[in-house]
């Protein structure tokens, strides 16, 4: 009990010395309220069997070394995907906002069945995890590609003047101080959109399944 970061006291949580931050003896370090919020998200019902896949925290002010109260709510319910939101208060003062995304994990029964059939870790990953996660993998990969393909800020910042440059920089070179070559700009933009359009057409059914997973309460 002496090693606990927080001690439960009814509806409140009392921070111990382990939660005290190194900069101000009257405030907590950021890991303590984050752990408190993550623990609260894991206990939210229904859906406690889901796995937290993403956590986000917004510390609005220093977290005082004082009793804290935690509140959570389900923003979007679902059997496979859930979006949660939570807040931490010190008295009446809002200290932290947080959000979480809980997703359905690969059932352990599939791993056990694969082990019984003699499959190793790699075979289980290749034959079970990848097929089950196919829609999500394709969706994330496609959006990551679209972000990188259309990026301009990082391309401009990191450009070293080499022979190979992103197409967004090529379009930018048609824009001068006194004139703009709109014909070349529009033609290059159309050419630049072809790879993205082709990928969207090829992967549209996987993307639709990945985006709508958990969007409908079932």
126 pLDDT above the threshold of 90? no
Together in a domain, 64 and 140: no
87 and 140 fall within a common domain = no
Given 64, 86, 103, the domain boundary residue is 103
Q: Quote the number of domains for the chain.
A: 2
Same domain, 30 and 97: yes
pLDDT in tens, 46-95: 887 888 888 999 999 999 999 999 999 999 887 778 889 999 999 899 99
CA-to-CA separations, 71 to 12, 29, 32, 116, 137, in angstroms, rounded? 10, 20, 16, 43, 32
Radius of gyration of the chain (CA): 24
* pLDDT value of position 175: 77
Q: What angle do CA 137, 148, 162 make, to 5 degrees?
A: 135
- Separation between Cα atoms, residue 49 and residue 43, nearest integer Å: 9
* 31 and 96 belong to one structural domain: yes
- Closest of 74, 78, 12, 72 to residue 40, by C-alpha: 72
Domain boundary among 85, 103, 121: 103
Q: Please, are residues 126 and 200 in contact by the beta-carbon 8 Å criterion?
A: no
Q: Are residues 91 and 157 in the same domain?
A: no
- Provide the β-strand partners of residue 85: 73, 99
Give yes or no: residues 10 and 68 share one domain: yes
Could you report the per-residue pLDDT of 6-21, keeping only the tens digit for each? 988 888 999 988 888 8
Domain range for residue 79?
Answer: 6-103
Paired tokens of 201 = 């057409």
Query: Among residues 63, 86, 103, which one ends one of the domains?
Result: 103
Residues 89 and 13 placed together within one structural domain of the fold: yes
Q: Tell me the whole-structure pTM to 2 decimals.
A: 0.59
Q: Are residues 71 and 140 in the same domain?
A: no
Query: pLDDT tens across 90-110, in order?
Result: 989 999 999 998 887 777 777
């Amino acid at each position: 009990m002496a090693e606990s970061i927080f001690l439960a006291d009814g509806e409140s949580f009392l921070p111990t010395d382990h939660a005290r931050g190194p900069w101000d003896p009257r405030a907590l370090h950021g890991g303590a309220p984050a752990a408190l919020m993550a623990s609260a998200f894991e206990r939210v019902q229904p859906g406690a069997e889901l796995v937290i896949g993403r956590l986000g925290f917004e510390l609005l002010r220093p977290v005082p070394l004082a009793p804290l109260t935690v509140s959570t709510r389900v923003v979007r319910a679902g059997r496979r995907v859930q979006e949660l939101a939570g807040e931490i208060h010190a008295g009446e003062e809002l200290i932290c906002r947080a959000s979480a995304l809980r997703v359905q994990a690969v059932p352990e029964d599939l791993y056990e069945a694969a082990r019984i059939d003699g499959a190793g870790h790699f075979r289980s990953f290749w034959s079970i995890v990848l097929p089950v996660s196919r829609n999500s993998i394709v969706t994330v990969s496609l959006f990551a590609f679209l972000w990188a393909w259309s990026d301009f800020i990082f391309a401009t910042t990191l450009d070293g003047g080499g022979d190979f440059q992103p197409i967004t920089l090529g379009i930018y070179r048609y824009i001068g101080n006194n004139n703009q070559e709109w014909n070349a700009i529009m033609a290059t933009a159309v050419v630049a959109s072809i790879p993205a359009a082709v990928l969207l057409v090829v992967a549209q059914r996987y993307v639709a399944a990945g985006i709508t997973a958990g969007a409908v309460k079932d």
